[in-house]
Amino acid sequence: MTTLEIYLMQHGESKSKDEDPARPLTDDGRKSVENVGAHLARLGITFDRVFHSGKLRAQQTAEILAGSLKINEKLEAHKGLILKIPWSQLCVGSRVRIKGD
């Protein structure tokens, strides 16, 4: 039996469109993602691949996370990878397991 674990993470806090139309991460957003990455590393959690939507804030989040886990070469941008439901409807930080043969 194969188990696939999927972790979902929202990008770190980003600047408003008024501050910067590209909406990069704020300093607090970067620190928050660094803290998550450090925590995952302490727990020994790593990933085979890290997907992001290609938006600057998502790319920066993925790069910081991958750097913390020393998996920089495993980043993949997928422009269609945009969540269509509000984060409030997800159980953030939960594990999704897909089991198959």
Taking CA 13 as the corner, what is the angle to CA 8 and CA 14, rounded to the nearest 5 degrees?
Answer: 115
Count of the separate structural domains present in the chain: 1
Q: Where are the beta strands (DSSP E) in the chain?
A: 2-6, 50-52, 75-77, 96-100
Per the CB < 8 A criterion, the answer to whether 72 and 62 are in contact is: no
Per residue of the chain (101 residues), what is the pLDDT tens digit? 677 777 888 899 999 999 999 999 999 999 999 999 999 999 998 888 888 888 999 999 999 999 999 988 888 888 776 666 565 555 555 554 444 44
The owner of tokens 């939507």 is 53
The CATH number of whichever domain residue 54 belongs to comes to: 3.40.50.1240
Would you state the pLDDT for residue 84?
63
Domain hosting 50: range is: 2-100
- Compute the distance between CA of residue 59 and CA of residue 54 in angstroms, rounded to an integer: 6
Would you state the pLDDT for residue 51?
87
The owner of tokens 């990878």 is 81
- Compute the distance between CA of residue 52 and CA of residue 11 in angstroms, rounded to an integer: 9
Would you state the pLDDT for residue 100?
45
Q: DSSP character for 76? A: E
